[in-house]
Amino acid sequence: MAEQTQISWTDSTFNPWWGCQRISPACDNCYAAALDHRTGGSYWETGNKPRAMSDANWKKPLRWHHEAQVHGNPRKVFCGSMCDVFDKNAPDGQRERLFELIRQTPMLQWQLLTKRPTNIEKYLPDDWGDGYDNVWLGVTVEDCKYGLPRIDVLKNIPARIRFLSVEPLLQDLGNINLTGIDWVIIGGESGPCSRPMSPEWVDNVMHQCRRQNVAVWFKQWGGNKKDKGGCLVHDAEIKQWPHTTG
Ligand code: SF4
């Protein structure tokens, strides 16, 4: 997948397979499904299984890892912009192949984000222990009904870094207990059907992150034109990394 990405909180994206099914309101305007449709695919249609990717695709992270070793610079890789890595419909053997790749690439910081955290424990490898040093585990939190319960599931899974992707933020989340969470990304929805994000909702999440000493990355306001809303909050860019990574 992408050598470079426009996603501000990572360096590259990698997809171990391609395809998914909608599961909650965050998926309503799924950009991946739209891209699949535009490129002639049907991997988001009900009942269709994701497709496996080529060996050439799988070799890319090995090259990124080699470059990171040569330059002494770890590289962040968001895994699953076109799938959900904890999807029960993953093509046979491909999730195991992914974890093997993760083990082979310690200079890559793998960011695994899911909307299916209740599947995580079942699909983690046997040697996961307290979590691989190079894996950040995250869940999407778009609303109270579907998003907030995912946080509680994530908190009970061992991981070196746990994060929340509060994107698209669709309503006020009220009080959130962020114990055990290292990093929160906040973003509004983009695209022609994007749903608006209230500044008060953003302030509420940011305020709680500050009070609970959790790093925040404000990605963008979103809107129906790219970059329309920018990424300033009260005239400032808020882009903090989880404390343990500096
Ligand atoms: S989980 Fe992600 S990839 Fe799957 S349908 Fe929802 S938004 Fe799209």
Angle between helices 94-104 and 55-71 (to 10 degrees): 20
Which of the residue ranges 2-11, 66-75, 117-126, 156-165 would you say has the lowest mean pLDDT? 2-11
Residue 102: predicted pLDDT = 98
Determine the residue of 43, 84, 193 to mutate for testing ligand 1's pocket, defined as the one with the most ligand atoms within 8 A of the Cβ atom: 84
49 lines ligand 1 (CB under 6 A): no
**Residue 224's pLDDT band (boundaries 50, 70, 90)?**
confident
Residue 184: predicted pLDDT = 98
Residue 246: predicted pLDDT = 40
Task: Fill in the amino acid letter for 144.
Answer: C
Structure confidence by residue, pLDDT tens digits, 22-81? 999 999 999 999 999 999 999 999 999 999 999 999 999 999 999 999 999 999 999 999
Whole-prediction pTM: 0.95
C-alpha 153/C-alpha 121 separation (Å) is 10
Percent of the chain beyond pLDDT 70? 96
| Whether pLDDT at 243 is above 90 | no
90 lines ligand 1 (CB under 6 A): no
Residue 132, by phi and psi: left (phi above 0), alpha (psi -120 to 50) or beta? beta
**3-state class of 26 per DSSP?**
helix
Is 228 in contact with 197 (CB distance < 8 Å)? no
Q: Is 144 exposed, middle or buried (0-12, 13-18, 19+ CB in 10 A)?
A: middle
87 lines ligand 1 (CB under 6 A): no
C-alpha 169/C-alpha 45 separation (Å) is 25
113 lines ligand 1 (CB under 6 A): no
Distance of CA 65 to the CA centre of its chain: 20
Q: Is 222 exposed, middle or buried (0-12, 13-18, 19+ CB in 10 A)?
A: buried
| Whether pLDDT at 244 is above 80 | no
For all residues of the chain together, what is the average pLDDT? 95
| Whether pLDDT at 227 is above 70 | no
In our burial notation (b when 16+ CB lie closer than 10 A, e otherwise), range 29-55 reads: bbebbeebeeeebebbeeeeebebbee
The rounded Å distance from CA 70 to ligand 1 centre is: 35
Structure confidence by residue, pLDDT tens digits, 129-152? 999 999 999 999 999 999 999 999
C-alpha 154/C-alpha 182 separation (Å) is 12
Is 185 in contact with 192 (CB distance < 8 Å)? no
| Whether pLDDT at 2 is above 70 | no
Ligand 1 atom at shortest distance from the alpha carbon of 114: 1
Q: Taking Cα atoms as reference points, which of 107, 98, 154 lies closest to residue 125? A: 98
| Whether pLDDT at 96 is above 80 | yes
Structure confidence by residue, pLDDT tens digits, 167-189? 999 999 999 999 999 999 999 99
Neighbour tally for 59: CB within 10 Å = 11
| Whether pLDDT at 225 is above 80 | no
Per-position DSSP letters for 75-143, written without gaps between them = EEEEE-TTS-TT-TTPPTTHHHHHHHHHHH-TTEEEEEEES-GGGHHHHS-TT-TT--TTEEEEEE--S
Residue 3: predicted pLDDT = 66
215 lines ligand 1 (CB under 6 A): no
Residue having the nearest C-alpha atom to atom 4 of ligand 1: 20
Residue 1: predicted pLDDT = 52
